Amino acid sequence: MSLPSATNAGELRSLAVRIRQGDASAETELVHEFSHRVFVMGVVRTHDREAARELVQDVLMAVIGALRKGQLQDADKLAAFVHGTARNLINNQLRSACQRPPMEPLHEDLAQACRAEQLEDAERMRLVHQAMEGFGQEDRKILLMTLVEGHKPGEIAAALGLTSEVVRTRKTRAVKKVADLIRKKMSRT
Amino acid sequence: MNCEEVEERNILEGYLLDRLTEPEREEFEKHYFECGTCFSQLQTGLALQTELRRQPAMAARARGASLLRAWVWAPTFATIIILFSAGIWWNSAHNRPPSQQVPSPLKVSPNVRVQVQSTPAAPSLEELARVEPPPYSGVVLRGTEDEAHETFHTAMQFYEKGDYTKAIPGVRAAAKANPQSASFNFYLGVCYLLAGQTDPAIVSFRQTVSLGDPAYSESAHFYLAKAYLQKKEVARAKDELQKTVHFHGGLESEAAQILRQLGN
């Protein structure tokens, strides 16, 4: 399973060039590199996981289509290009679902890569659930108040009788603990 | 934007909660499209947020499950009662005059037992319509709330004590003052439902659904189904249960089970 990579600019440039040259494996690499990011962006912007999943396919197909045709002028800006395409398609969808342009389906390799992303998402959710069972009541409350109720560390500190610094530290530590667990478990598979 | 700024300005939380300005959001997205560390934290934050939003529904489900466990034991209890009754009957039969024909209890009780175990009674519509109150744990932040929130939290103190009728006026006032709040509308629906006022409950749950808040949509469909079951409108209840299932959230399996029991 792939993890959020920090592919350097050189590798991304080479990816763009290889896709333009018709290298199918580069297209699969691009899906692995960006599908998670586009999915997260889609979920945050649309509040709909299913819509976000569909958007991942649409965005990646549009990007790959453009790269095949050599429409990306500056290969160094691949990440920004994917982001811009995702933003435009999400905005279009939010404006009107029925105005979405018809997209040709992904070919089987790419569709499989997208399905793998869906499985990873389910596995990630399972691991988060598992990690949260190990949290104390107060850590859960800090996460709930931060990530769901949207309170600032100072407000949480006042409500729980802690200092802002403690709230901040405990939140960061909890998120890191979960992220480490996910990284550890998912890198094994 | 860099990683330090993301941390210092709570950008990640703001992004997940849709509280950034458009330029901030744009800048952060551009950053995490290139930064593996920030993206990893964002991905974890999103998963945590999703899990935390599911928790109230899951807690309610757990309570439902414990109720369900009690039903699972029902055939066993029934068997014990029947065996006990058979024992009493057998005892009294042996004390009768010898001229009376007495069927052997040893032949009766195993048959009864098999029958009870193999055909557990299907839950009635009333049982399926039974509602467990979703948990509420409002933390009141002094000085940070508007009037509607204060009214809501005060009213919800009655809810926490199980006095749903008394909670209604305050929760209704909060929902009226802030009709865009999914939580106000959702808990108003729950209060109505638990107080036996099904029709206004349906209106409140419909309002919650229309607001499209992912934290309450799944639960609103589920409790809407419960409201329709109370009104014995099975087709509508099924429709809402199917919508609940489509969320693939914490109430998915419970909704699917009710659908099966309704003969979907």
CB-based contact, A70 to chain B, within 8 Å: no
Residues of A in contact with B10 (CB under 8 A): 152-153
pLDDT tens, position by position, B35-93: 888 888 898 999 888 888 776 554 544 444 444 444 445 556 566 666 666 666 666 55
Structural domain total, chain A: 2
Contact B42, A39 (CB under 8 A): no
Q: Which two tokens stand for residue A178?
A: 């979960």
Please tell me whether residue B101 adopts helix, strand or coil conformation: coil
Mean pLDDT of A90-118: 63
Residue A62 lies in a domain: yes
A59 and A17 within one domain? yes
A102 and A58 within one domain? yes
Which of B152 and A94 is assigned the larger pLDDT? B152
Residue A22 lies in a domain: yes
CB-based contact, B26 to chain A, within 8 Å: yes
Which of B117 and A124 is assigned the larger pLDDT? A124
Residue A4 lies in a domain: no
**In this predicted structure, what is the pLDDT of residue B68?**
46
**In this predicted structure, what is the pLDDT of residue B106?**
39
pLDDT tens, position by position, B14-40: 999 888 898 999 999 999 998 888 888
Residues 138-197 of B with CB under 8 A from A: 139-142, 144
> How many other CB atoms are found less than 10 A from the CB of residue B7?
14
**In this predicted structure, what is the pLDDT of residue B24?**
92
Could you say which of A91, A120, A149 is where a domain stops?
A120
* Predicted model pTM: 0.52
Flag whether pLDDT at B149 surpasses 60: yes
Residues of A in contact with B142 (CB under 8 A): 158
> How many other CB atoms are found less than 10 A from the CB of residue B92?
10
Looking at residue A135, the DSSP 8-state letter turns out to be S
C-alpha to C-alpha distance for B229 and B126, rounded to whole angstroms: 8
CB-based contact, B95 to chain A, within 8 Å: no
Residues of A in contact with B18 (CB under 8 A): 44
Flag whether pLDDT at B119 surpasses 80: no
The alpha-carbon gap from A103 to the nearest alpha carbon of chain B, in Å, equals 23
The amino acid at B244: T
The amino acid at A38: V
Mean pLDDT of B175-204: 90
A115 and A143 within one domain? no
Residue A169 lies in a domain: yes
**In this predicted structure, what is the pLDDT of residue B169?**
92
A57 and A140 within one domain? no
Could you say which of A77, A97, A120 is where a domain stops?
A120
Mean pLDDT of B3-21: 87
Q: Which of B43, B49, B215 sits opposite A36 (nearest CB)?
A: B43
The domain in which residue A19 lies consists of: 9-120
A140 and A47 within one domain? no
**In this predicted structure, what is the pLDDT of residue B191?**
93
The alpha-carbon gap from B32 to the nearest alpha carbon of chain A, in Å, equals 8
Residues near A186 by beta carbon (within 8 Å), at least 6 away in sequence = A1, A3, A120, A123, A124, A127
Q: Which two tokens stand for residue B177?
A: 């003052």
A92 and A14 within one domain? yes
The alpha-carbon gap from B135 to the nearest alpha carbon of chain A, in Å, equals 14
Which of A68 and A98 is assigned the larger pLDDT? A68
Could you say which of A90, A120, A150 is where a domain stops?
A120
C-alpha to C-alpha distance for B240 and B235, rounded to whole angstroms: 9
**In this predicted structure, what is the pLDDT of residue B188?**
93
A110 and A138 within one domain? no
ipTM above 0.90, yes or no: no
CA dihedral A7, A9, A14, A16 (to 10 degrees): 90
Q: Check CB contact under 8 Å for B39 and A80.
A: no
Mean pLDDT of A157-162: 88
**In this predicted structure, what is the pLDDT of residue B187?**
93
Q: Check CB contact under 8 Å for A80 and B50.
A: no
Helix B234-246 and helix B217-230: axis angle, to 10°?
160
A154 and A89 within one domain? no
Contact B193, B204 (CB under 8 A): no
**In this predicted structure, what is the pLDDT of residue B171?**
93
A101 and A46 within one domain? yes
Q: Which of B43, B48, B213 sits opposite A147 (nearest CB)?
A: B48
Please tell me whether residue B176 adopts helix, strand or coil conformation: helix
CATH number of the domain that A176 lies in? 1.10.10.10
Q: Which of B29, B36, B45 sits opposite A41 (nearest CB)?
A: B29
Q: What percentage of chain B carries pLDDT values higher than 70?
A: 71
Residue A127 lies in a domain: no
Which of B3, B38, B52 should one mutate to test binding to chain A, selecting the residue with the greatest count of A CBs within 10 A?
B52
**In this predicted structure, what is the pLDDT of residue B170?**
93
pLDDT tens, position by position, A106-124: 566 666 666 667 777 788 8
Q: Quick one: how far is CA B198 from the chain centroid? A: 16
Of A15-19, B112-116, B216-220, B253-257, least confident by mean pLDDT is: B112-116
Residue A61 lies in a domain: yes
A161 and A69 within one domain? no
A32 and A115 within one domain? yes
Residues near A129 by beta carbon (within 8 Å), at least 6 away in sequence = B51
Residues of B in contact with A124 (CB under 8 A): 43, 47
Residue A129 lies in a domain: no
Flag whether pLDDT at B3 surpasses 70: yes
Torsion sign (Cα): B63, B68, B69, B74: positive
**In this predicted structure, what is the pLDDT of residue A94?**
73
A178 and A149 within one domain? yes
Residue A97 lies in a domain: yes
CB-based contact, B28 to chain A, within 8 Å: no
Per-state percent for chain A, helix, strand, coil, to nearest 5 = 80, 0, 20
Q: Check CB contact under 8 Å for A129 and B41.
A: no
CATH number of the domain that A48 lies in? 1.10.1740
The alpha-carbon gap from B201 to the nearest alpha carbon of chain A, in Å, equals 24
Looking at residue A152, the DSSP 8-state letter turns out to be -
Flag whether pLDDT at A3 surpasses 60: no
Residues of B in contact with A148 (CB under 8 A): 49, 52-53, 215
Flag whether pLDDT at A15 surpasses 80: yes
Residues of B in contact with A172 (CB under 8 A): 7
CB-based contact, A83 to chain B, within 8 Å: yes
C-alpha to C-alpha distance for B197 and B238, rounded to whole angstroms: 20
> How many other CB atoms are found less than 10 A from the CB of residue B208?
28
Which of A147 and B100 is assigned the larger pLDDT? A147
Mean predicted lDDT score pLDDT of chain A: 81
Residues of B in contact with A44 (CB under 8 A): 15-16, 18, 46
C-alpha to C-alpha distance for B244 and B86, rounded to whole angstroms: 45
Query: Which residue of chain A is at minimal alpha-carbon distance from B46?
Result: A40
Q: Check CB contact under 8 Å for B214 and A37.
A: no
Mean pLDDT of A133-157: 87
Which of A2, A50, A144, A177 should one mutate to test binding to chain B, selecting the residue with the greatest count of B CBs within 10 A?
A144
Q: What percentage of chain B carries pLDDT values higher than 90?
A: 19
Contact B64, B226 (CB under 8 A): no
